[in-house]
Structure 1
Amino acid sequence: MNDDDRTTPAPRTRTPRTRTRRLFGTVLPALLVSGAVVGGAAFIKITSDGADRTVPTTVWAEADDAEPAKDPAGPIGRGRADTELTKKLLPVPPGYQLGPDMGEYGNDGELTGKQAVGRMKEEIGAGYPAAVRREAHREIDRMGIQGLALRTYRLKGGNGQGSLYAEVSLIALKDREAARRWYAVASQRGEGARKGPVIEGREHSSCSLEPETEMADIESMSCVAYEGDVAVVVVAQGAKPINRFTFVELVKDQLDHIASPGTYI
Structure 2
Amino acid sequence: MTTFKLGWYIMKERLTAGRMVVIWILLTILVLFASWGFTDSNLNLTSNYQIDSAYDVLFVSTAATIWGSTLGAVLISFDGVSRDRVSGVLEIKLSQPMQRKKFSISLLLGHWGAILVPFMTLNVLSILIIWYRIDELPTLYEFLIYFIASALLVFWWTAIQLLASSWAKDMGLSIALGLGVWITFILLWIIPTAVIAGFSGVGVENLSSPEYTKLQGMVDLFSPNGVYNHLMEIGIDHIDRGVSLIYISISSILWTLVPAILFIRRIERIHP
TM-score using structure 1 length: 0.33
TM-score using structure 2 length: 0.32
More strand by share: 1
